[in-house]
Amino acid sequence: MSQLMKNDQIVLRPLEPTDLDTLYSWENDSSLWVVSDTVAPYSRAALWQYLENYTGDIYSQRQLRLMITMATDGTPVGTIDFINFDPLNNRAELGLFIDGNHRGKGLGHLALDLLTAYAREHLGLRQLYVYIALDNQLCLKLFEGYGYSRVGVIKSWVKRGTTYKDVVLLQMIL
């Protein structure tokens, strides 16, 4: 595996069929739906089909989703994604999830280190961007602390229950 995809603490690896139970648990945690735009649970069959059809070819699928695991024992602790990959303009949206049992340990920052290096050195991306709800202060602190800049606020962008929330667009030029 590329040295860019691991460090002493974590490994970013492709999704595997053995990730089914972990993904099922995370994707069906309704407390997380407010940040994932999910509105209904996923069946095991739907997730299995996703894993079966997922190639990890960012150019054909316009997405790259990687499992974040602990380097010591391979325990899955989250996922990190490039979505909306745009090879013409050399940019991609970034998604990051760290399981609640592993938050606050710097793993998100480590995953950003690895994926940013991969974006720059292997994909030749010029920029990465994220949309974060204005009220998600922990996530904003992580990305701003990493060097992402606020480039705008999109008003009433995401619906949460019966209200709409503003979203911050953050960008990093590589």
Over range 22-45, report the average pLDDT: 80
pLDDT at 40: 77
Over range 115-141, report the average pLDDT: 95
Over range 66-92, report the average pLDDT: 96
Q: Which of 75-79, 87-91, 125-129, 155-159 has the lowest mean pLDDT?
A: 155-159
CB atoms within 10 A of CB 80: 22
For residues 73 and 133, give the distance between their C-alpha atoms in angstroms, rounded to a whole number: 33
Tell me which of 17 and 38 has the higher pLDDT. Answer: 17
pLDDT at 166: 95
CATH superfamily of 3-126: Gcn5-related N-acetyltransferase (GNAT) (3.40.630.30)
pLDDT at 1: 45
Percent of the chain with pLDDT over 70: 95
pLDDT band at residue 59, thresholds of 50, 70 and 90? very high
Q: Does the pLDDT value for residue 84 go beyond 70?
A: yes
Percent of the chain with pLDDT over 90: 76
Q: Does the pLDDT value for residue 4 go beyond 70?
A: no
